[in-house]
């Protein structure tokens, strides 16, 4: 760490050029946390999560999809119709529980009741891939305060 005017910069974390802070205490706290996470292999640079969801899907997630063409087509429709119009401009690290609550309300009004869990699962898969790519620290779709939408009741037969 070194001071420059009233700002402090932290250097020496693998994968991070340097990071400015206004106070020495903030710099020391961040450095200690980053070193602990780096030693565990869990360090996620917050700047990597600043990419928009749309950009992440188009450049990182979508090119890795493979499988049955009809399944891929259905996934592409869910992403295009229900995820990107509402969340595409959000940065990955900006998608939190509040954003998901609002999106879930809109989602429950839009598609048929059987597709809601599939759309939620698709977004969860995208965000889990971002976690595994070390762009997010955790998947907000798996938060205890935001659960997946309830499945539609099955058809009752006598």
pLDDT tens digits, 26-45:
888 878 877 776 666 666 66
Q: Is the residue at 39 inside a domain?
A: no
The pLDDT assigned to 20 comes to 79
92 & 22 share domain: no
97 & 55 share domain: yes
Band (131; pLDDT cuts 50, 70, 90) = confident
- Range 49-76 average pLDDT: 86
The pair of three-digit structure tokens given for residue 158, joined into one six-digit string:
């006598």
Helix (H, G, I), strand (E, B) or coil at 150: coil
Q: Rounded CA gap, 137 and 35, in Å?
A: 15
Domain ranges, residue 12: 2-34
Q: Rounded CA gap, 87 and 103, in Å?
A: 8
- For residues 142, 44, 85, 82, the Cα torsion angle rounded to the nearest 10 degrees is -30
The pLDDT assigned to 124 comes to 92
Count of domains in the chain?
2
75 & 137 share domain: yes
Q: Is the residue at 41 inside a domain?
A: no
The pLDDT mean for the chain works out to 79
Q: Is the residue at 56 inside a domain?
A: yes
The pLDDT assigned to 135 comes to 81
Parallel/antiparallel/unpaired status of strands 7-10 and 2-4: antiparallel
75 & 132 share domain: yes
61 & 123 share domain: yes
92 & 124 share domain: yes
The CATH number that applies at residue 56 is 1.10.150.130
135 & 59 share domain: yes
Q: Rounded CA gap, 42 and 44, in Å?
A: 6
Decide if pLDDT at 151 tops 70. Answer: no
Q: Is the residue at 130 inside a domain?
A: yes
The pLDDT assigned to 150 comes to 65
Decide if pLDDT at 105 tops 60. Answer: yes
Q: Is the residue at 158 inside a domain?
A: no
85 & 136 share domain: yes
Band (125; pLDDT cuts 50, 70, 90) = very high
55 & 127 share domain: yes
- Range 96-102 average pLDDT: 88
Give the relative orientation of helices 69-78 and 116-132 as an angle to the nearest 10 degrees: 90
68 & 95 share domain: yes
Decide if pLDDT at 87 tops 70. Answer: yes
67 & 93 share domain: yes
The pLDDT assigned to 48 comes to 67
């Amino acid at each position: 760490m070194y001071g420059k005017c009233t700002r402090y910069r932290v250097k020496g974390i693998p994968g991070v050029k340097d990071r400015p802070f206004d106070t020495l205490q903030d710099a020391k706290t961040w450095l200690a946390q980053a070193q602990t996470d780096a030693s565990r292999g869990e360090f996620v640079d917050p700047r990597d999560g600043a990419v928009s969801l749309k950009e992440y899907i188009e450049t990182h997630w979508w090119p890795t999809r493979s499988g049955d063409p009809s399944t891929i087509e259905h996934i592409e429709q869910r992403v295009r119709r229900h995820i990107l119009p509402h969340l595409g401009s959000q940065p990955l690290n900006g998608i939190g529980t509040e954003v998901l609550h609002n999106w879930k309300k809109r989602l429950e009004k839009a598609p048929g009741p059987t597709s809601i869990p599939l759309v939620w699962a698709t977004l969860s898969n995208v965000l889990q891939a971002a976690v595994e790519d070390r762009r997010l620290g955790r998947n907000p779709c798996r938060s205890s305060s935001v659960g997946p939408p309830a499945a539609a009741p099955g058809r009752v037969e006598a």
